[in-house]
Amino acid sequence: MRRKDNTMGDTTVRYQKVYGSEDDGFIDLQFQKIPPNIPYKAILLALVLFLLGSLLIILSALLMAGFMDAKYGNRTWPLMLIGIILFIPGAYHVRIAYYSFKGYTGFSYDDIPEFD
């Protein structure tokens, strides 16, 4: 069996840089950093979820520990569950907003969903 030759054929072709144009296709504007669009409504909602969830978790923990009158003791677990459901997304988005504000790498305001 005959082996194929991997050369390009004519080896007399000489390549050279094309002169005459200094334009490389880039403009300075595309390398400038644009100011971040801060989603104030979403951050406010995340803060409300975080605070309300924290309050409900604290109240249910006080009810379970007996520091508050457990007149309605059957409502402590649903109160804890609602508090956790509110706390988790609120804490997550407040953390992203804080890290974005401080300028940590890998965090930006684009990670927070916007509500128009």
Tell me which DSSP letter residue 32 carries. S
- Of 53, 34, 50, 33, nearest to 97 by C-alpha is 50
The pLDDT value given to residue 5 = 52
Q: What is the pLDDT along the chain (116 residues), one digit of tens a residue?
A: 555 555 555 567 777 766 666 666 777 777 787 888 899 999 999 999 999 999 999 999 988 888 887 777 788 899 999 999 999 999 999 999 999 999 999 999 999 988 76
The pLDDT value given to residue 44 = 96
Amino acid identity, residue 89? P
Residue 29: Cβ within 10 Å count: 7
The pLDDT value given to residue 14 = 75
| Cβ-contact 36, 109 below 8 angstroms | yes
Does this model's pTM top 0.75? My answer is: no
Distance CA 116, CA 114 (A): 6
The pLDDT value given to residue 1 = 54
| Cβ-contact 56, 79 below 8 angstroms | yes
The pLDDT value given to residue 68 = 80
